[in-house]
Amino acid sequence: MMKNYEVRPGQSVELLQELHILTRDGKMNQDSRRKLKQVYHLLQFIEPLIRERQTEHDHVTLVDHGAGKSYLGFLLYDSFFKGTDNHGSIWGIETRDELVSRSQELASRFGFTGMSFLNQSVAESQDSQVLPNRIDIVTALHACDTATDDAIRFALNKRAKHVVLVPCCQAEVASFLRKNKSQPLADSVLPELWRHPLHAREFGSQLTNVLRCLQLEAHGYKVTVTELVGWEHSMKNELIVATFQNRRREGFERKLTKLLESVGLPEMASRFH
């Protein structure tokens, strides 16, 4: 008998088995339980975004960057688009060819005709001729370091209505902080926040996400920041959800520029504008 692991109603048990979240006899280890909880929790944030877009037009488009094994894409499609006639398309962007091939085979086996997978980096996908000029929802779950920034740029270029991010391994800003730490910032004691390597890494991660939020706000998005799941499940836990509302931008642009100047990183302005 299949044990109850809080599988969503209507969710394909066979699909969960093929994704190796459930074993063939319906069991789940601690790692799989943690992974499923994270993805399901993320689905709770994405579902209302999909429902909103469905009320506005028939065909919803979603691009998932750094898709990996495409847990998110498959569970989204299985939950909201399977059995529908051309009501949604999901593209998974992934650099590892073996994962792309596996996902393509799995989508074909389950008849998920609206799912596609591209063997590209997030940056390369910006110029893809396969993807439409406009995308409804852009997601990036644990896209490492600057891949999250590339996903934001992709969303801005595609005029995405919604952007859902779980940033991971933010190293670029920390490297700039370390490189510039000997440069004086007037009489500021701010460099003490990143003088030690551990603090540089942690402060750099925090600063990166603040800059990303300001960037999205400067482009007219309303931004919400929250926890994805409890810290006991993942330290990469920050969830950024942005919805385009064509808000006034000038104040956020000024804050973004001022913040970069305050920490001695004006050279990074092009990354976040």
Q: What is the DSSP string of 107-125?
A: HHHTT-TTEEEEES-HHHH
Query: Minimum mean pLDDT among 75-89, 113-127, 248-262: which range?
Result: 75-89
Query: Minimum mean pLDDT among 125-129, 136-140, 177-181: which range?
Result: 177-181
The residues, any chain, with a CB within 8 Å of residue 19's CB and separated by 6 or more, are 69, 71, 74, 106
Q: Where are the domains of the chain?
A: 8-169, 171-220+247-273
Query: Minimum mean pLDDT among 76-80, 86-90, 162-166: which range?
Result: 86-90
Q: pTM for the full model?
A: 0.90
Tell me the mean pLDDT in the region 51-80: 94
Tell me the mean pLDDT in the region 67-74: 93
Does 3 have pLDDT greater than 50? no
Is CATH 3.40.50.150 correct for 8-169? yes
**What confidence tens digit (pLDDT) does each residue in 156-176 have?**
999 999 999 998 877 888 888
Partnered with residue 88 across adjacent β-strands are 60
Tell me the mean pLDDT in the region 175-182: 76
- Please state, as a whole number, how many other Cβ atoms lie within 10 Å of the Cβ of residue 82: 19
Tell me the mean pLDDT in the region 140-149: 84
8 Å CB contact between 90 and 62: yes
Does 217 have pLDDT greater than 60? yes
Does 257 have pLDDT greater than 70? yes
Work out whether the CA dihedral 32, 34, 37, 40 comes out positive or negative.
negative
What mean pLDDT is reported for the chain? 87
8 Å CB contact between 139 and 62: yes
**Residue 192 is encoded by which pair of tokens?**
């003490």
**What confidence tens digit (pLDDT) does each residue in 187-208 have?**
678 888 888 989 988 999 999 9
pLDDT at 2: 40
Give the H or E element holding residue 172: helix 172-179
pLDDT at 184: 61
What is the band of 1 on the pLDDT scale with cuts at 50, 70, 90?
Answer: very low
Tell me the mean pLDDT in the region 118-125: 94
